[in-house]
Amino acid sequence: MDQIITLRHLPRRNTSIEIVDRRRYFGGTAGNLARAASRLGVKTALASFVGDDFPLDYRDALRREGVDLRDLRAVRGTTTPTVWVFSDPKGNQMAVIDQGPMKEAAKLPILGYSVRESELVHLGTGRPEYYTRIANLAAELDRTIGFDPSQEIHYVYTPTLFQKLLRRSTYFFGNEAEITQAKRFARVPSTEGLLKFASVVVATRGSKGSTVYTRGERIRIPRVRPARIVDVTGAGDAYRAGFYAGLSREFDLRRCGILGSTVASFVVEARGTQTHLPTWPQALRRARQYAPF
């Protein structure tokens, strides 16, 4: 869950401040990606641990989009992962994260149904020790792996754990800061160097667009211009959903990247990561301004 809290300014240490606005939104990288991809026509399953307080309206929203929830497991006596995001009118932010049962996921059983039933297994935020077990099962079943540690690459990974998962992966996703950390962990001087481990590297660059690297080419993806920018939170998850919508239809990587940028352009037009998700016809209509589909 995302709790978005607006303040007149971020507080100084040992002071109090009044809240201007507080809103509750559905969130989480897994929920964002699964719901957006499912709305785009991708057959999607969500595997995650939540608290026994997981909101019924969020479960219903995912189910209405067609997301398979058989591996959405509530852990008794825990609270659902939640982030409290504090922001001011200048765009400054700070966040406090409660990872709930995901923090102890290394001790929890493997959610294997989704691995067995999927063609592609996307590893997002979560504990690398747990994902190593998932990746091993996926490799045994000859499943494609997408690796997307997101912001957690900075504080839960070690070079050894990172390299172990990257070697198992076909696709690696990251923004500019995450790609920089990935290069440190992989001990390579360039983004292309990551291709020694993964077959495809997708580097998102915010308003500068994105780049898809393969062992044969570097594909520059333009920014798809939104009608307005209200909140950029969740744009990365939306990009991945659009990218997978293209892959599931066997589009080339350039068109997959353009679809990723397109879906992200919708999400930033409203506050909340799942508030303004496009349908497939809506995404296709906007994407056609940048490439033939």
Q: Please indicate whether residue 68 is annotated as part of the active site.
A: no
Eight-class DSSP state of 230: S
Hey, is 48 helix, strand or coil?
strand
Closest to 149 in 3D by CA, of 169, 126, 183: 126
Closest to 256 in 3D by CA, of 225, 282, 219: 219
Hey, is 238 helix, strand or coil?
helix
Cα separation, 75 vs 97, in Å, equals 18
Classify 54 in phi/psi space as left (phi over 0), alpha (psi -120 to 50) or beta. Answer: beta
The one catalytic residue in 57, 148, 237, 252 is: 237
Phi and psi at 171, nearest 5°, equal: -115, 135
Instruction: Please calculate the CA angle 192-196-199 and round it to the nearest 5 degrees.
Output: 80
At 282, list the tokens: 């809506």
How many angstroms separate the Cα of 109 from the Cα of each of 73, 102, 226, 293? 10, 12, 41, 42
Strand partners, 221: 210
Listing DSSP states for 137-199 in one string gives HHHHTT-EEEE--GGGGGTT--HHHHHHHHHH-SEEEEEHHHHHHHHHHHT-SSGGGGGGT-S
Closest to 28 in 3D by CA, of 77, 101, 89: 101
Hey, is 85 helix, strand or coil?
strand
Q: Terminus-to-terminus CA distance in the chain, angstroms?
A: 35
User: Which positions are annotated as active-site residues?
Assistant: 237
